[in-house]
């Protein structure tokens, strides 16, 4: 069947909007549609993304891939209102809802539906995202490949067994918040030592970007890369000791575990 839209987004806020932008880069704005809670919001989102504003009903009728980008706690209500259109839709559904399992999605969308569960992150807005992907067995290999091609501009996509998605997303999905806190705190430290704020922020962010690239490109253990920066009796090891003293690693581990537990509570 020929679809008017390759990708339709029901919910195009921070996350849905970022993925809609990635889809526009691949298939163009005429093949991507978005719906928000009101026609006015849909028009505003579509204008900023460079795609088409639609109703959720039209998206369900006319899209090859229908992305669910509403908040998890709103999903049941939104799906109930659209029940007839969901039942009639033969789209591949793509859910970005944190903590909502494929089984739960099938309960709400229909047991026979093709569903891909994803866990994206906000850096996809600049093509540097990480998207975890798990599909139910009704999705064919061709459909999964077409989905990945559609999302290629969002960044890296990685298949992951569904039972690991919540744990992994406590790093990939929630992690940007921790990274920004780290950048802000480092910049505060530099400001305290006299560096102007804007420069301090840029240096901290570029340092994090470069350190992550070095780690990924060399495949070295992070401990080895850390050791390479620490000369005996030097400044860096003094900073490392200060971080250890304040439980830095324990805090990071606890943050991931707390996010995982909370996802489980919400799902």
Ligand X SMILES: NC(=O)c1ccc[n+]([C@@H]2O[C@H](COP(=O)([O-])OP(=O)(O)OC[C@H]3O[C@@H](n4cnc5c(N)ncnc54)[C@H](OP(=O)(O)O)[C@@H]3O)[C@@H](O)[C@H]2O)c1
Tell me how far, at minimum, the Cβ of 115 lies from ligand X, in Å. 14
Near ligand X by CB under 6 A: residue from 33, 78, 108, 125:
78
Alpha carbon distance 57, 243 (integer Å): 52
Tell me how far, at minimum, the Cβ of 197 lies from ligand X, in Å. 25
Q: Does 101 engage in binding with ligand X (CB under 6 A)? A: no
Q: Does 70 engage in binding with ligand X (CB under 6 A)? A: yes
The region of 120-128, 186-194, 207-215, 239-247 touching ligand X under the rule CB under 6 A is: 120-128
Residue 241: left if φ>0, alpha if ψ -120 to 50, beta else—which one? alpha
Residues 6+ apart with CB under 8 A from 130: 120, 121, 123, 124, 155, 156, 158, 172
Q: Which CB, 150 or 259, lies closer to ligand X?
A: 259
Please give the helix or strand (H or E) that residue 25 lies within, else none: helix 14-27
The region of 35-43, 84-92, 219-227, 237-245 touching ligand X under the rule CB under 6 A is: 35-43
Q: Does 264 engage in binding with ligand X (CB under 6 A)? A: no
Q: Which CB, 92 or 105, lies closer to ligand X?
A: 105
CB 228 within 8 A of CB 64: no
| Nearest CA-CA partner of 170 in 119, 126, 101 | 119
Beta-bridged to residue 114, according to DSSP, are 92
13 annotated to bind ligand: yes
Alpha carbon distance 95, 57 (integer Å): 17
Q: Does 97 engage in binding with ligand X (CB under 6 A)? A: yes
33 annotated to bind ligand: no
Tell me how far, at minimum, the Cβ of 110 lies from ligand X, in Å. 19
Q: Does 56 engage in binding with ligand X (CB under 6 A)? A: yes
Cite the DSSP H helix spans in 117-234: 141-150, 165-172, 175-192, 197-218, 222-229
Near ligand X by CB under 6 A: residue from 122, 128, 136, 211:
122
| Nearest CA-CA partner of 263 in 98, 94, 134, 96 | 98
Q: Which CB, 203 or 260, lies closer to ligand X?
A: 260
Angle between helices 39-49 and 14-27 (to 10 degrees): 50
207 annotated to bind ligand: no
The region of 63-71, 133-141, 232-240, 244-252 touching ligand X under the rule CB under 6 A is: 63-71
What would the two tokens of residue 223 be? 């401990």
The region of 21-29, 96-104, 208-216, 252-260 touching ligand X under the rule CB under 6 A is: 96-104
Please give the helix or strand (H or E) that residue 238 lies within, else none: helix 235-245
Q: Does 41 engage in binding with ligand X (CB under 6 A)? A: yes
Please give the helix or strand (H or E) that residue 33 lies within, else none: strand 32-35
Near ligand X by CB under 6 A: residue from 91, 96, 160, 259:
96
Q: Which CB, 184 or 227, lies closer to ligand X?
A: 184
Site residues, ligand X (CB under 6 A): 10-16, 35-38, 41, 56, 69-72, 74, 78, 96-98, 119-122, 173
Residues forming the annotated binding site for NADP(+)?
A: 10-15
């Amino acid at each position: 069947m020929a679809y008017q839209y390759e990708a339709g987004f029901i919910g195009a806020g921070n996350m849905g909007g970022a993925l809609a932008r990635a889809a526009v880069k691949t298939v163009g704005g005429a093949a991507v549609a978005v719906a928000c809670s009101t026609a006015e919001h849909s028009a505003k989102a579509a204008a900023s993304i460079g795609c088409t504003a639609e109703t959720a009903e039209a998206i369900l009728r006319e899209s090859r891939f229908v992305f669910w980008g509403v908040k998890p706690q709103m999903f049941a209500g939104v799906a109930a209102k659209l029940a007839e259109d969901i039942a009639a839709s033969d789209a591949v559904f793509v859910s970005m809802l944190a903590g909502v399992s494929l089984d739960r999605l099938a309960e709400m969308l229909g047991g026979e539906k093709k569903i891909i569960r994803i866990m994206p992150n906000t850096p996809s807005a600049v093509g540097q995202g990480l998207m975890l992907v798990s599909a139910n067995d009704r999705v064919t290999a061709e459909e999964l490949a077409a989905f990945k091609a559609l999302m290629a501009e969002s960044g890296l996509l990685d298949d992951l067994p569904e039972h690991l998605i919540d744990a992994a997303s406590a790093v990939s999905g929630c992690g940007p918040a921790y990274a920004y806190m780290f950048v802000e705190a480092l910049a505060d430290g530099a400001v305290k030592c006299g560096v102007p704020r804007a420069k301090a922020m840029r240096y901290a962010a570029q340092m994090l970007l470069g350190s992550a690239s070095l780690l990924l490109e060399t495949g070295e253990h992070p401990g080895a890369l850390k050791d390479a920066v620490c000369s005996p009796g030097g400044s860096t090891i003094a900073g490392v000791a200060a971080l250890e003293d304040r439980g830095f690693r324990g805090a990071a581990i606890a943050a991931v575990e707390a996010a995982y537990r909370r996802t489980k509570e919400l799902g």
